[in-house]
Amino acid sequence: MAAGKMSARQKMINLMYLVFIAMLAMNMSKEVLSAFGFMNEKLKENNLSTTLKNNSAYENLATKASEQSAKFGILYEQAKEIKKYSSEFYAYLDDLKSKMTAEIEDKSDYESMDKTDFLDTYFFKGDGYTKYGQLFLENINGYRTKLIKVLGADSKFVPVINKRFSTDDVNLSESNKKISWLKSRYEGFPMIASLTNFTQMQADIKNTESDIITDLLGGKLEESLSLSNYTGIVSLEKTAYFAGESVKGQVVLGRYDATLVPNKVLLNGADVTKNVKDGQVILNMPAGNVGEKTIKGTIFFTENGEEVPVPFESTYSVIPEPSSAVVSADKMNVVYRGLDNPISVSLPGVSDNNINVSATGGSLSGKNGKYSIKPGAGNIAIINVSAKLSSGKTVNSKATFRIKDIPAAMGSVRGQYGIVSMPKTGLANAPIAAGLPDFEFDLSIVVQSFKIKVPGQLTIIVNGSTLNAAAKAALGKAQRGDIVNIYDIKATANGVPISKVLPVSIDITN
C-alpha cells in the first residue's frame, strides 16, 4: 500500500483500514480474555466434581484397608500420603490465586483482568526470580518428587507425573533457543491467563490423584473376591477377662458377609459347626485361669467344587481384677483454664455405666468414659473415679492435672504472622486476626480491639477486627517500605480472654 505515489484519498483509505484492523484486534483481545475466564470456570467445576470422586475413592480404600489390612493397608498408607501432598499443593495454588485477585472487586469481570503486573513483580526480579517465584518452582518440583517417591521410580505413572508437572526449560521454535519454564508460562501474560493456568494445574493434581487411586483399588478388587484370600477374624466383646468369666464374641470373615455360611468349623480342635449363625461363629466358653489364651481353628468352604480351608487365630488375656482406675488426659497432664478439656476415664473389665466420675478444681460434664473438665481458679484439678466390680468390690482412684492459662497468641493478617509484606490497600480491607499455630485445641479466636501505628502518625485505637476510618486515613499516608505495627491486640478464645497476643508488622509494598 505504501509503494509509489498515493493520492490523498488513497492515504485516507489506508489509514481507515489500519484503524479497522486495530479495532478488530481490540475486540478479539476482549473475547480471548473472556474465553480464558469461561475456561477457568469450567476447570473449577471439573475440579469440584473430581474432588468428590477422589474422596469417594479414598473412603472406599479406607474401608478396604479396615476390612483387609494385609491386602490394602500399604496401599491405603500410600493413598494418604498422596492425598496429603496433593491437598497441600492444591491449597498453595488456591492461596496464590486469592492473592492475585485480592484487589479485584468483580471476580467475574474477565475483560478487566488484562494486566500483567502482579506476577511480573511477584515472580520475577530482573533476569531472575523473587523468593515467591522460586517458592512456586519448589512447590511444583517438590510435589512431583514426593509423588514419585511414594509410588516408586518404576511406577507406570512416573512419565505422566513428570510431563504434567515439568519445569524444564522450553525451546523457542523460531530461534531454537531455550527459555526458562517460569518465564515462558507466566512473564508478561494477562492475569486471567495465569489464573486459568493455575486452575489447570489444580486440575492436573486432581486428575493425577484420580488416576493413581483408581489404579491402587483396581489392582486388588478382583483378587479380593477369591475365597483363598479371606482371613478369619476373631471379634470378642472385650480382650481381657476376669477369672471365671465367660468369653463372648464371634468369629467372622473379613467381609462380614452374613450370607456366606461355612460347611464346617473347627475351634481349638472341636467341631462347633452348630454354633454358626448369620455367617458368624458364636463363642461362649469359660475364660480359664489368669494368663494369655489362644483361639484358633479353621473355617471350611466349598469353591468351584473343592473344599477351601480358611484358618483363623487370635489371643486374649485373662487378668486379675483391677484395684485402680486408668485415667488419661487426651491432650496431656495439663488442662487449660476456661476451656473444655477432654478427659477419658476407663477401668479394665468394667463397663462405663458402672463407673462414677467427679472432679474438683473445675466443672465436669460428659458420660460413658468421655468427659470434659472446665477448670476455674487455682492451679490443680483432680478427677475422682469410683467403680463397683462384678465381684461386688469397690475401687476408688484419682488423677491430678495442672491448670494453665491459654498461652500467648500471635497476631496475623491473611493467615501470616510476624512481618507480612503487602500493599496498604490490601491491609485496609484485611481483618486483623490471631492464632495459636502450635496449640492442640481447636479454638474460635475473635479479635476485640487493637492499636495501629503508622510511621509519622498518631497511634489509632480500633475496636473490632477491621480498620476504622481513622486507621485507614493514617494508613493512607504510609509510604512504600514503611513498617506499620499492629499491637496491643485484645482477643478471646472460645469466649475466654487471651492474656497476651503478640503483635504483627506490615511491610508496605506500595
Which DSSP string do the residues of 236-288 spell out, in sequence order? ES-SEE-TTPEEEEEEEETT--TT---SEEEETTEE-GGGEETTEEEEEEE--
Residues contacting residue 409 through CB under 8 Å, at least 6 positions apart = 434, 435, 436, 445, 489, 491, 493, 498, 500, 501, 502
Q: Are 392 and 400 in contact (CB under 8 A)?
A: no
Residue in the structure block whose three cell numbers are 510431563:
163
Please tell me the distance from the alpha carbon of residue 327 to that of residue 129, in angstroms, as a whole number. Answer: 55
Q: Is 373 helix (H, G, I), strand (E, B) or coil?
A: strand
Domains 228-318 and 326-404 share a fold: yes
pLDDT at 259: 43
Residues of the chain with pLDDT under 70: 1-29, 67-68, 70-71, 173-175, 219-234, 236-245, 252-261, 278-279, 290-292, 301-305, 316-332, 349, 390-391
* The length of the chain, given as a count of residues: 510
Residue (of 475, 493, 382) closest to 429 by Cα position: 475
Q: Identify the CA nearest to 323 among candidates 243, 389, 246.
A: 389
Q: For residue 27, what pLDDT is reported?
A: 44
What CATH class does 228-318 carry?
mainly beta
User: Which cell goes with 303?
Assistant: 469353591
Q: Read off the pLDDT of residues 446-487 as tens digits, 9 standing for 90 and up.
A: 999 999 999 999 999 999 999 999 999 999 999 999 999 999
C-alpha to C-alpha distances, 319 to 66, 182, 292, 322, 323, nearest whole angstrom: 28, 66, 9, 8, 12
| CA separation for the pair 300, 264 (Å, rounded) | 5
The Cβ of residue 493 has, within 10 Å, a number of other Cβ atoms equal to 22
φ, ψ for residue 169, nearest 5 deg = -60, 150
Delimit the domains of the chain by residue range: 37-224, 228-318, 326-404, 409-508
Q: What is the pLDDT of residue 23?
A: 43
- Closest alpha carbon to 233 in 113, 302, 127, 313: 313
Please state, in angstroms and as integers, the Cα–Cα distance from residue 436 to each residue in 116, 335, 442, 444, following that order: 37, 16, 9, 11
Strand spans (E) along 89-162: 124-125, 128-129
Is residue 30 within 8 Å of 111, Cβ to Cβ? yes
Q: Which pLDDT score, from 0 to 100, does residue 215 have?
A: 85
Strands 483-493 and 124-125: unpaired
Could you tell me which CATH number the domain at 326-404 has?
2.60.40.1220
Per-residue confidence (pLDDT) for residue 60, from 0 to 100: 84
Looking at residue 32, what is its pLDDT? 77
φ, ψ for residue 183 (rounded to 5)? -65, -40
Q: Strand runs (DSSP E) across 262-388, as ranges?
A: 264-267, 270-271, 276-277, 280-286, 291-303, 306-318, 326-329, 334-336, 341-346, 355-360, 362-367, 370-375, 380-388
